[in-house]
Amino acid sequence: MITVRDQVDVEAELANHLRIATWRAVIGGSMGGMRSLEWTVGYPERVARSVVLAVGAASTSDEIAHSALQVRVIKSDPAFHGGDYYDTGEAPIAASLSRGAWDRSPIAR
């Protein structure tokens, strides 16, 4: 499993490679907000300013369950081909359907 911390660590390595010592600002909402928060906590010396929007410091059990359901729907799409669908001529539709199915469920209300 790749975490937000893993993503930020890779971004920090890329910044090192590009010789970027400090960001003037890291800004993000939702998942980008998680990354902005992780940059601020994990690399405070490299972040001059941070704007974190629409994010909590940790995922709730409801959010984790919601994501797990979406992943199951996406992986069950025959056009997904294990994520290697670019050269198949098929476009998986499960990603958009998984959100719609959840939003219409009685649980989401």
Q: Which residues contact 21 (CB under 8 A, 6 or more apart)?
A: 15, 46
CA 96 to chain CA centroid, nearest Å: 16
pLDDT in tens for each of the 109 residues of the chain? Answer: 788 999 999 999 999 999 999 999 999 998 899 999 999 999 999 999 999 998 887 778 888 888 888 888 888 888 888 888 778 887 777 655 655 554 444 444 3
DSSP designation for 47: B
Alpha carbon distance 85, 99 (integer Å) = 20
CA 17 to chain CA centroid, nearest Å: 23
What is the token pair recorded at 96? Answer: 């958009």
Residue with tokens 């940059």: 39
